[in-house]
Amino acid sequence: MAIETQTIEYSGDGLAMVGTLYADTAQSGPRPAVLLFPEAPGPGNQVQGRARRLAEAGYAAMACDLHGGGTIKTDMAEIMSILDELRPNPARIRARAGSALEALRASPLVDPARIAAIGYCFGGTMALELGRSGAAIAGIVGFHSGLATAAPQDARNIGCPVLVCIGADDPGIPPAQRAAFEEEMRAGGVDWTMHLYGGVVHSFTNTDAEKFGRPEFARYDASADKRSWAAMMALFDGVFA
């Protein structure tokens, strides 16, 4: 096994974006691929590490940009201001996500007919909005992902299975938001699954979540992390078969 990285440059929503593609170069030929959209600060260690794990499992995996230039934001007020601008504008979110899809699809390492999209926190929102855009992807997985959208009617455009893995006690994704998502998926005729993890809050896949300094809101949970990853891999086994 020889995991190597490539820098992938693309543009979306008026921004110059930078992704990092991980792949086992000892493996020959195109292989299934995964887009990984990061938590709100941007493509940091968490999403890069997950992309490497997927490459080790035989996929081509691209850790995608969020803010442009591969930037990682650290000021939470700035981050929230950016997200507050994006959330009411699904077209802008979809532009950022869709351009990443096209960039990954162009790689000779990738089977363009077998690409899934996953995301963490706001990155999960990006993966879901990519599906709502009608993009031809094989599956969507959101980890502690925002479920709300300004265009719930577009769920009818989702043509692949959807899995969302949510902390049952996540203050950022309360029961009302989960119920609205359920109704949206049902109305859109989507093949969807929601896993809830009791006693678990936001960012449960992020081992650095304690750095946010708000354990009542964001906290790593090893059990939920392990179980949600296994659920994702099971979905991939099905959609990429």
Q: How confident is the model over 136-145, as pLDDT tens digits? A: 999 999 999 9
Residues in the chain: 241
Beta-carbon count within 10 A of 24 CB: 18
pLDDT average, residue stretch 213-218: 93
Mean pLDDT of 102-111: 98
pLDDT of residue 209 exceeding 90, the answer is yes
State the pLDDT confidence band at 211, using cuts at 50, 70 and 90.
confident
pLDDT score at 152: 98
Per-residue pLDDT, 131: 98
Q: How confident is the model at residue 155 (pLDDT cuts 50, 70, 90)?
A: very high
3-state secondary structure the chain: CCEEEEEEEEEECCEEEEEEEEEECCCCCCEEEEEEECCCCCCCHHHHHHHHHHHHCCCEEEECCCCCCCCCCCCHHHHHHHHHHHCCCHHHHHHHHHHHHHHHHCCCCEEEEEEEEEEECHHHHHHHHHHHCCCCCCEEEEECCCCCCCCHHHHHHCCCCEEEEEECCCCCCCHHHHHHHHHHHHHHCCCEEEEEECCCCECCCCCCHHHHCCCCCECCCHHHHHHHHHHHHHHHHHHCC
- The pLDDT mean for the chain works out to 97
Nearest residue to 145 (alpha-carbon basis) of 161, 130, 167: 167
Rounded-to-integer distance, Cα 206 and Cα 143, Å? 10
Q: Which residues touch 183 (CB under 8 Å, ≥6 apart)?
A: none
What residue type is 164 in one-letter code? V
- At the fourth CATH level, the homologous superfamily of domain 3-239 is Alpha/Beta hydrolase fold, catalytic domain (3.40.50.1820)
Domain residue limits, the chain: 3-239
Q: Does the pLDDT value for residue 154 go beyond 90? A: yes
**Stretch 1-17: mean pLDDT, rounded?**
97
**Is pLDDT of 212 > 90?**
no
pLDDT score for 101? 98
pTM of the model: 0.97
